[in-house]
Amino acid sequence: MGNPIVFASAILEQLGITEVPDVRDIAAKLGVGIEEANVVGFDGALVRVKGTSIGTIALRESIRAIGRKNFTIADEIGHLVLPGHDESAVVGQEQVETGGPRCAGAG
């Protein structure tokens, strides 16, 4: 895998972001929704159509610290755009409904 800083810089440049980046803005520009949900067992998860960049970030709504929410969103964006992460967060319907067991990529 390449350097994550290089990937992040390239994404910001491609999206035309020159100011301090806002992770929600980045997600929107990438076409990724963010849905806060009443879940336990994980802070965030990328739910996407296998093999594509179409998806939504599920964010645990009980996270109080905005910094933690932003970190979790950024982490899930990383799973979306970094090479080698396109197969790592595949879960079944039962795991989504119950919140477990924890899947790779749920951060």
pLDDT of 72: 95
Using CA atoms, how far apart are residues 54 and 48, in angstroms rounded to an integer? Answer: 6
pLDDT of 105: 43
Q: What are the residues whose beta carbons fall under 8 Å from the beta carbon of 87, sequence distance 6 or more?
A: 50
What pTM, to 2 d.p., does this model score? 0.72
pLDDT of 1: 52
Per-residue pLDDT of the chain (107 residues; tens, 9 = 90+): 567 788 788 888 988 988 888 999 999 989 999 999 998 889 999 988 777 778 899 999 999 999 999 999 999 988 888 766 665 544 444 444 444 444 434 44
Residue count (the chain): 107
